[in-house]
Structures are given as C-alpha cells and as structure tokens.
Amino acid sequence: DIQMTQSPSFLSASVGERVTLSCRASQNINKYLDWYQQKLGEAPKLLIYNTNNLHTGIPSRFSGSGSGTDYTLTISSLQPEDVATYFCLQRNSWPWTFGGGTKLELK
Amino acid sequence: EVQLQQSGAELVKPGASVKLSCKTSGYTFSNYYMSWLKQMPGQNIEWIGNIYGGNGGTGYNQKFKGKATLTVDKSSSTAYMDLSSLTSEDSAVYFCARHRAPLGYFDFWGPGTMVTVSS
C-alpha cells in the first residue's frame, strides 16, 4: 500500500496568514492527489482534486500543487471558518490511502 | 440537490453483524460509484471498498475482505454495507461517498454512521 505522510500534524496560525500543508507519498502517485477538509463532527468535504483542481464552490484562497511524491495545499489568507483537519488522499493505486491529517487552529 | 442519507447509529454486540445504508437522491444512482470509508475516533480515514450503482460490481481493500460486503438496490437508489463478526476494532464512524469514475474523487459524502461494538 502507498503510505501518505502529512506535515505538520498540528498547525496554529493567525487570521489572514498564508498557510501551507504538506503531503508526501511513499511512491510516485502521478498527481492523483486530493485534499479534504473535515470539521469537527462532520463528514469530509472535497477541496482540491487531481493536485490542483478547485472543487465547485470552494473559495479561491485554497490552492494545490505538487508532483511525484510531494504535494502542497495552500490557504492564501486564513479565515476563521478554515479551522478544521485537512486530509490528503491518493487515488493512484488501490487501496486508496489517506494521510494522517493536519489539524489547523487559530492562533 | 445531491443527498446521501445514512442510517442511524448502531450499538451491537461482539460477534454480531450490522447492515448500514446510504440512501441517495438528486442524481442518477446507476451512473456513479459509491465508496465506503471507516474513521475510528481521532484517527485516519480508511477506504473499505466501492460498488458501481449500474451493475453492482465491487472492489475491496484487501484489509476489509471478509469483513465488509457491499450491495446496492437500484430501485431505491440505496447502497448498503454489511459488516460481519464485529469486534471492538470495528467501532468507528462509517461514511459513504460518491464518485463518478472507478478512480474518481469523492465529491459528495454522507454524514456518517457511528457503529459501537460493545457487550
């Protein structure tokens, strides 16, 4: 199975700050990488698919990049409603695997 | 509006089985796949398997073969997951999530069903 490692596990940032979350795969995943946001007690919500495609209705402050084994989710200006845990998911090969998550809080 | 409505929380005894449902509306059920995912409290998400609404074809994570069985009822646009021989390790929230292609991204998720295995 492909292992997905997210860093940092926990991040505290201020409103308006630029935030970068990382996800590293144990092998090349050919940009089949998605980002999901999960708020406490809710289901995950798709933010970005195939590395850099913004899902419908997602604010443009979210963006994704990467290739090979290394991928990044960037929030250009953190908002209070962005407090959540963020997961990456690889769909390059079965079984699909998630990263352990980055918990984002306000400073 | 796309909706995935999951069945209510379950409290089941060790060794028992449980059947979870994911009733859909707002889209053509037979044109999409449905995956099931497991999230233990405070932990990572695991992909269990998927099923095609068109013909019921399935694919499973090897880890969950023998544990989970996925089925669909096209007449009611509902996906089901049977979990068997339950242990405390099966206590988790289970989500259903829709995707357009066999390797597609999960664009809509159900709210989740909490399963607690306890005597």
Number of H-type helices and E-type strands within chain B: 0, 11
* Confidence tier at B102 by pLDDT (50, 70, 90): confident
Asked if the Cβ–Cβ distance from A46 to B110 is below 8 Å, we say no
Q: pLDDT (tens digit, 9 = 90+) per residue, A15-50? A: 999 999 999 999 999 999 999 999 999 999 999 999
**CA of A46 vs chain B CAs: smallest distance (Å):** 6
Q: Tell whether A98 lies on the interface with B, counting CB pairs under 8 A.
A: yes
Q: Report the alpha-carbon angle B46-B31-B53, nearest 5.
A: 55
Of all residues in chain A, the one with the smallest CA distance to B95 is: A43
Instruction: Tell me which residue in A49, A97, A100 faces B105 most closely, judged by beta carbons.
Output: A49
Nearest to A77, CA basis, from A64, A61, A65, A57: A61
Nearest to B32, CA basis, from B48, B56, B59: B56
Q: What pLDDT shows up at residue B103?
A: 81
* Confidence tier at A52 by pLDDT (50, 70, 90): very high
Q: Report the alpha-carbon angle B92-A23-A78, nearest 5.
A: 90
- SS3 percent helix, strand, coil of chain A, rounded to 5, is 5, 50, 45
Asked if the Cβ–Cβ distance from B111 to A43 is below 8 Å, we say yes
Nearest to B67, CA basis, from B98, B97, B95, B36: B36
**CA B32 to centroid of chain Cα atoms:** 14
Asked if the Cβ–Cβ distance from A43 to B109 is below 8 Å, we say yes
**Distance between CA atoms of A61 and B40, rounded to whole angstroms?**
30
Which positions in chain B touch A34 (Cβ < 8 Å)? 105-106
Q: Tell whether A45 lies on the interface with B, counting CB pairs under 8 A.
A: yes
